[in-house]
């Protein structure tokens, strides 16, 4: 099969890496492959990001992760001109303590044609540090880089040469060596594509939980946070979970390259797992994320979180979100599976990835509050998930009962993107919510907490540090601080609009 495929797009095997997974992970027929990739890009792409520096994308079969991968590759501007593309992925075929650079081939073949390898850069890396080597078995049957090529071939009008690298070492000092050698290339001339799937083989809901923990850590831009998240997931002994990120090593290299680069920011683009595919099972899944890393202009500031486009919600959109929140709780409470809303009425804003908190009150008192700050799912899904979590999963309260449900009052806070601040002087009490991070500790207060409690600015920060982040009262003083704003509405106020 491989030889038959190869003959379709090359005259000779000399110096050409033959595809290993064409016909299995993606179509072997050129016309079918082109049509499939173009369809995925059309459904999930846009005009692209002007200052795109890197992507994290999955590498499973296209029927499972293709839509998520397309949302990553859709951030590439079709007219972008790169000197080279660095492809970094994990090793599924060989264990070794380093990073294997494939300088043995002049081209990688796909059903869409041959892609040039920048052998000069491959050799320069191998001369730069002994962490780099060439291990044939790390590349011969490896799929994690190969599956990215058709997306690049169809997205870019001008396909540059590639630098294929398989990263296998877990040792911090070796990962740092790799990052240090690659960092001179980590600039506007080149694009880095990091290949990784996420949770492997837990059940559907457990995967969503573990993958959210990992995604939030990546969004922090901190290697320490990322490694701690992987450890925390492992410590929870989630049934079936083998790893939270098979691409842990190349992601670590990326985060090390990003260190001390305040102009870089990370944005979460998409998530699903194999259980969302009609071909997947729910009891044993693999998770898929896509992220983009963009160089921001001085005008945009230096937050590691990529800002979404500013928006405001209409009264009708607020009503729909409140309806979705209440219906989600009702379905869970009564074991129903009724549709949450008329999906044809979902506006682009409600489909935009956005963070939100859902707060429940009973007789004026807090009865549950759960939220997601970074918004890695569409807003309508975030509200649905957070409403259920606030009703049944807030550890401070017993699960909501049927007797309580009719008297529950629902508040929703839709959040702006997070912005890193250099000191608490930039925090405005009553306007801003606060997120503080220190090591594995993190905690947040919504903006409206200031009005509800009557606290002063320092009291607000001290209580967030102590009550929410698990830090000493003055722990906020040396923590990372982020601010955000919230558009807050509830059932009573929206009824009067």
Model pLDDT, residue 10: 39
Q: What is the pLDDT of residue 309?
A: 41
Least confident of 258-267, 290-299, 467-476: 290-299
Average pLDDT of the chain to the nearest whole number: 90
pLDDT > 50? residue 435 = yes
pLDDT classification of 375: cutoffs 50, 70, 90: low
- Judge whether residue 303 has pLDDT over 70: no
Please say if the pLDDT value at position 127 is more than 90. Answer: yes
Beta strand 99-101 pairing with 84-90: unpaired
Q: Check residue 117 and give its pLDDT.
A: 97
Residue 398 carries which DSSP code? Answer: P
34 within 8 A of 110, measured Cβ to Cβ: no
pLDDT at 400: 96
pLDDT top residue among 9 and 317: 317
Per-residue pLDDT tens over the stretch 41-50? 998 767 788 8
Residue 262 has what pLDDT?
Answer: 78
Higher pLDDT, 270 or 306: 270
pLDDT tier, 8 (very low <50, low <70, confident <90, very high otherwise): very low
- The yes-or-no verdict on residue 201 having pLDDT over 90 is yes
Domains and CATH numbers, the chain: 2-300 (3.40.830.10), 315-415 (3.30.700.20), 419-486 (3.30.1490.150)
**Average pLDDT in the 266-272 region?**
91
The confidence score (pLDDT) of residue 271 equals 93
User: What is the model's pLDDT at position 4?
Assistant: 41
Residues 6 or more apart whose CB falls under 8 angstroms from that of 279 comprise 63, 64
What is the pLDDT, as a whole number, of residue 307? 40
Q: Indicate if the pLDDT at residue 78 is higher than 50.
A: yes
Q: How confident is the model at residue 493 (pLDDT cuts 50, 70, 90)?
A: confident
- State mean pLDDT over 123-134: 95
Mapping DSSP to helix (H, G, I), strand (E, B) and coil, where does residue 455 land? coil
DSSP notation for 226-260: HHHHHHHHHHTT-TT---S-TTHHHHHHHHHHHTT
pLDDT confidence of 376, banded at 50, 70, 90?
low
Q: Sign (positive/negative) of CA torsion 365, 371, 377, 378?
A: positive
Residue by residue, DSSP assigns 292-316 as EEEEPPGGG---SBPPPPP----HH
CA-closest candidate to residue 402, choices 340, 330, 453: 330
Q: What are phi and psi of 85, to 5 degrees?
A: -120, 120
Check: CB of residue 113 under 8 Å from CB of residue 21: no
Structure confidence at residue 206 (pLDDT): 94
At 13, is the pLDDT very low, low, confident or very high (cuts 50, 70, 90)? low
> Averaged over 158-163, what is the pLDDT?
97
Q: Does the structure show a pLDDT above 70 at 11?
A: no
């Amino acid at each position: 099969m491989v030889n038959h495929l190869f003959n379709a797009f090359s005259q000779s095997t000399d110096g050409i890496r033959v595809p290993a997974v064409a016909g299995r992970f993606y179509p072997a027929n050129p016309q079918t492959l082109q049509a499939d990739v173009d369809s995925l890009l059309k459904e999930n792409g846009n005009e692209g990001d002007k200052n795109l520096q890197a992507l994290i994308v999955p590498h499973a079969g296209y029927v499972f992760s293709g839509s998520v991968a397309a949302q990553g590759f859709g951030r590439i501007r079709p007219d972008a001109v790169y000197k080279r593309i660095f492809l970094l992925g994990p090793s599924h075929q060989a264990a070794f303590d380093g990073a294997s650079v494939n300088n043995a081939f002049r081209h990688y073949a796909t059903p869409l044609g041959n892609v040039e390898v920048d052998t000069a850069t491959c050799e320069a890396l191998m001369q730069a540090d002994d962490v780099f080597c060439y291990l044939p078995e790390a590349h011969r049957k490896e799929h994690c880089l190969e599956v990215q090529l058709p997306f690049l071939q169809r997205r870019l009008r001008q396909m540059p040469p590639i630098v294929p690298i398989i990263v296998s070492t877990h040792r911090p000092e070796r990962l740092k060596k790799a990052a240090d050698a690659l960092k001179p290339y980590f600039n506007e001339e080149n694009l880095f594509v990091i290949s990784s799937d996420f949770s492997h083989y837990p059940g559907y809901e457990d995967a969503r939980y573990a993958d959210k923990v990992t995604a939030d850590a990546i969004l922090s831009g901190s290697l320490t946070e990322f490694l701690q998240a992987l450890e925390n997931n492992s410590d929870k002994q989630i049934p079936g979970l083998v790893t939270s990120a098979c691409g842990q090593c190349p992601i670590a290299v990326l985060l090390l390259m990003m260190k001390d680069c305040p102009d870089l920011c990370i944005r979460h683009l998409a998530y699903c797992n194999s259980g969302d595919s009609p071909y997947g099972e729910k009891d044993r899944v693999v998770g898929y994320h896509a992220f983009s890393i963009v160089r921001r202009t001085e005008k945009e500031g230096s937050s590691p979180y990529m800002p979404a486009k500013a928006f405001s919600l209409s009264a009708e959109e607020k009503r729909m979100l409140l309806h979705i929140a209440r219906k989600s709780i009702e379905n869970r409470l009564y074991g129903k599976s009724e549709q949450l809303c008329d999906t044809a009425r979902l506006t682009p804003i409600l489909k935009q990835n956005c963070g939100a908190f859902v707060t429940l009150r009973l007789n004026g008192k807090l009865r549950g509050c759960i939220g997601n700050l970074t918004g890695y799912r569409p807003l309508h899904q975030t509200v649905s998930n957070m409403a259920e979590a606030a009703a049944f999963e807030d550890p401070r309260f017993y699960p909501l009962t049927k007797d309580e449900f009719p008297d529950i009052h629902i508040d929703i806070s839709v959040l702006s993107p997070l912005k890193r601040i250099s000191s608490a002087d930039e925090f405005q009490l009553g306007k801003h919510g606060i997120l503080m991070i220190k090591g594995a500790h993190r905690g947040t207060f919504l903006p409206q907490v200031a009005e509800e409690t009557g606290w002063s600015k320092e009291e607000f920060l001290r209580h967030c540090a102590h009550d929410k982040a698990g830090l000493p009262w003055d722990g906020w003083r040396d923590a990372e601080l982020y601010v955000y704003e919230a558009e807050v509405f509830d059932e009573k106020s929206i009824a009067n609009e």
